[in-house]
Amino acid sequence: MNSNLKKIFRENADKINGMSEEKFVEVVSTMFNKRIGSSFLPKCNRVEVIDNTGRAYTNYNCKSVEKQMQDDDKTLKIFIR
């Protein structure tokens, strides 16, 4: 995402007064993450989903994990790579 934001910054630099590229990326990334409730979990490499029968899903070899809250915080999505 940062490379896309840097491209947007460069294409619109004349409209962005007094803000460095680094600050632009930081601010927009923060706003984006708060808006969609996204959160990367950099240390997480294991996921378990527990239901009334016990462990319904396990993955102990995740390369990356991200959670997103969507639909007015009614839907939790977990993205596992």
Residue pLDDT, tens place only, 13-37: 777 777 788 887 777 776 666 555 5
At 34 the pLDDT is 57
- Which is it for strands 65-70 and 54-59: parallel, antiparallel or unpaired? unpaired
Q: How far is CA 53 from CA 57, 59, 60, in A?
A: 11, 17, 19
Q: Percent of the chain having pLDDT more than 90?
A: 20
5-12 LR contacts (CB < 8 Å, sep 24+): 5/29
Overall pTM surpassing 0.75 (yes/no)? no
